[in-house]
Amino acid sequence: MALEIIQLPQWQDNYAYLIADPVAGEAAVVDAPEPGRIPELLKEKNWQLKAIFNTHHHPDHIGANRELIRMYPGLEIYGHQNDAGRITGMNRPVDDGDTVRLGSETAEVLFVPGHTSGHIAYRFGGDVFVGDTLFAGGCGRLFEGTAVQMHRSLSRLAALPAISRVWCAHEYTESNLRFAVTIEPGNRALAARYQKVRDQRTKGVPTVPSTIGEEKETNVFLRWDSPEIIERCRETDPGSAADPAQRFAIVRKLKDRF
């Protein structure tokens, strides 16, 4: 049986995830800023909380840790080894290529720095929990890493199968695409997605998850080889436009000022 995923809107625009192997009755939390409905859902589903999978150390991703540790003693708290001392309760440091288990389900740990120096993603088969590295229609700011690191991390995620579902940690899609259409106005798939997302948000419908295939078609932070984006970068910074990582950096700076 496949992983069961419950998407939990929290705070203003965060998504936390309660994931489970329902046959084994084992559950884990991904990137929760607060416990919220998690205890209620665990009781309702009769699941045992076994672990917290943190993608990085920011407070809006680890805020629930302290209270969940208090409520459910013995939890395994995962995070990248670079975040030792920065993730509350972390007792299972991991690195790229490690695997983590939840019941009969196994996830591969992908080290994807850029947003932070210790950012990781968890890939459970066709479901990838990417934190703030890749957003629907966007990507995270470069708080601790470099454009070269982030370009490499995004390239790695873009190489996953197109049908992979992308579970990011924020509902930023509409604002991301509002920017994107100014960078690649000739992209018809992007224009159609922007209109669809606007309709979804008007109705209060989540725009997450997306897929890797959809992101490659419409996310300007993955489209550094688009002729339209190359030309925009050449206009912005002729000296940097020849290098894909530098083109990514140009687009990221334009977004930061948008």
What are the residue numbers of the active site?
A: 56, 58, 60-61, 115, 132, 170
Evaluate if residue 128 carries a pLDDT over 60: yes
Would you say 207 and 174 are in contact if contact means Cβ atoms under 8 Å apart?
yes
Tell me the three state secondary structure of residue 146: coil
Closest CA to 4 of 34, 42, 33: 42
What pLDDT is attached to residue 1?
54
Q: Percentage of the chain with pLDDT > 70?
A: 100
Would you say 64 and 29 are in contact if contact means Cβ atoms under 8 Å apart?
yes
Q: Average pLDDT for residues 127-153, to the nearest whole number? A: 98
Degrees (nearest 5) of the Cα angle 65, 69, 73?
A: 160
Model confidence over 74-104: pLDDT tens digits? 999 999 999 999 999 999 999 999 999 999 9
- H helices within 144-187, ranges in order? 147-158, 173-183
Assigned token pair, 210: 């997306």
Model confidence over 181-234: pLDDT tens digits? 999 999 999 999 999 999 999 999 999 999 999 999 999 999 999 999 999 999
Closest CA to 30 of 13, 11, 54: 54
Tell me the three state secondary structure of residue 7: strand
Q: Average pLDDT for residues 156-166, to the nearest whole number? A: 98
